[in-house]
């Protein structure tokens, strides 16, 4: 069975990718900067020499590059490091993948679009409104330039089994329900999002790579996945409250743009037609997925220490 390298394997999506490929019988090595455990190697993706050496040593047949600076606010705060991770490391991985003849899948984002005229097809002109979206777009281009046969998968906001609530912009919203401030919570009801479960995305990545293995000349370039439900942050909070029987009376929806912080697109819904043509796509209903993910977190949180 083929050898697979997953970058960012200790992160929210990376853990799901690692587990999915393991379950499918692949020999999987995860790259992680910290939290090294069985099957994970400590690799600094910002060190180009180390990154090249590790990849050449392992000589994988498949590379899934999920590591990134993902938080738009984090990217704005450290633009140089974000560009080194999201762009330069992606270029290095692309170069080594081309050298090895490996399949390469780069995980990108719906934030490459400005959110003004959805839905967006894979070949629509990108126009990111923040530096995160810009660096991910540059990462796409660097990947495809270095490795023309590579795959890019754009995804929306993700959620899944978390070690900390702030691992996902979705699960962190539970704090509004568990630890409401005395003045209540104001939550955006403006930007439309299409949350996707990391388990679904990992399955799509596996199936897309298998399709490419069957026809590498035809299956390449940019693909997109989106959750099927339209939810604002306020809508997600209300859904969580219903799932867990919690009160949301103290949560107030707001449709005013945030007075500060990084700009987000209003509606960057992705067209998934290219994946549909391959017969690929799976969506876990949000209520079902969030119950599974956060029930496990709550049980762990409340377990005796």
Per-residue pLDDT tens for 160-183? Answer: 999 899 999 999 999 999 877 776
298 falls within a domain: no
Q: Which residue has the higher pLDDT, 164 or 146?
A: 146
Task: Count the Cβ atoms, other than its own, within 10 Å of residue 18.
Answer: 26
Can you give the pLDDT at residue 16? 97
| Sign for the pseudo-dihedral over CA of 233, 15, 45, 127 | negative
For residues 44 and 63, what is the distance between their CA atoms, to the nearest angstrom?
16
Helices 90-100 and 131-146 meet at what angle, rounded to 10?
Answer: 20
Range of the domain at 50: 3-160+195-228+264-284
| Residue-wise pLDDT tens digits, 37-86 | 777 999 999 999 999 999 999 999 999 999 999 888 889 889 999 999 99
78 falls within a domain: yes
245 falls within a domain: no
CATH of the domain at 142: 3.40.50.720
For residues 165 and 62, what is the distance between their CA atoms, to the nearest angstrom?
31
| Residue-wise pLDDT tens digits, 214-230 | 999 999 999 999 999 99
58 falls within a domain: yes
For residues 283 and 255, what is the distance between their CA atoms, to the nearest angstrom?
28
105 falls within a domain: yes
For residues 242 and 226, what is the distance between their CA atoms, to the nearest angstrom?
23
Task: Count the Cβ atoms, other than its own, within 10 Å of residue 116.
Answer: 12
Q: Is the pTM of this model over 0.75?
A: yes
149 falls within a domain: yes
**Model confidence at 257, in pLDDT bands (50, 70, 90)?**
confident
154 falls within a domain: yes
pLDDT value at 11 more than 80: yes
Token output for 236: 């997600």
Q: How many domains would you assign to the chain?
A: 1
Can you give the pLDDT at residue 301? 67
Task: Work out the percent of the chain whose per-residue pLDDT is above 90.
Answer: 84
190 falls within a domain: no
**Model confidence at 305, in pLDDT bands (50, 70, 90)?**
very low
| Residue-wise pLDDT tens digits, 261-282 | 678 999 999 999 999 999 999 9
Q: What is the 3-state secondary structure (H, E, C) of 257-288?
A: CCCCCCCCCCECCECCHHHHHCCCCCCCCHHH
Torsion (CA) 27, 30, 31, 34 in degrees, nearest 10: -140
């Amino acid at each position: 069975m083929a050898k697979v390298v997953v970058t960012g394997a200790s992160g929210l999506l990376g853990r799901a990718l690692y587990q999915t490929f393991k379950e499918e019988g692949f020999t999987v090595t995860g790259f992680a900067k910290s939290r090294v455990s069985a099957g994970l190697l400590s690799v600094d993706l910002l060190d180009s020499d180390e990154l090249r050496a590790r990849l050449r040593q392992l000589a994988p047949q498949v590379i899934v590059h999920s590591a990134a600076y993902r938080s738009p606010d984090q990217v704005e705060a450290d633009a140089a490091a974000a560009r080194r991770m999201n762009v330069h490391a992606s270029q290095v991985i692309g170069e080594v993948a081309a050298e090895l003849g490996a399949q390469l899948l780069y995980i990108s984002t719906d934030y490459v679009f400005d959110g003004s005229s959805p839905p967006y097809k894979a070949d629509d002109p990108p126009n990111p409104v923040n530096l995160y979206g810009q660096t991910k777009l540059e990462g796409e281009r660097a990947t495809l330039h270095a490795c023309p046969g590579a795959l890019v998968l754009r995804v929306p906001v993700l959620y899944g089994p978390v070690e900390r609530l702030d691992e996902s912009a979705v699960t962190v919203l539970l704090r509004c329900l568990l630890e409401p401030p005395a003045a209540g919570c104001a939550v955006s009801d403006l930007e439309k999002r299409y949350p996707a479960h990391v388990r679904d995305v990992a399955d799509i990545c596996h199936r897309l790579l298998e399709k490419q293995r069957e026809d590498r000349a035809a299956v390449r370039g940019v693909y997109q996945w989106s959750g099927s439900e339209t939810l604002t942050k306020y809508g997600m909070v209300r859904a969580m409250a219903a799932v867990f029987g919690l009160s949301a009376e103290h949560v107030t929806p707001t449709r005013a743009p945030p007075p500060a912080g990084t700009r987000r697109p209003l509606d960057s819904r992705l067209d998934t037609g290219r994946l549909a043509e391959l017969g690929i796509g799976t969506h876990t209903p949000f209520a079902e997925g969030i119950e599974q993910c956060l029930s496990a977190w709550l049980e762990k949180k409340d377990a005796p220490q």
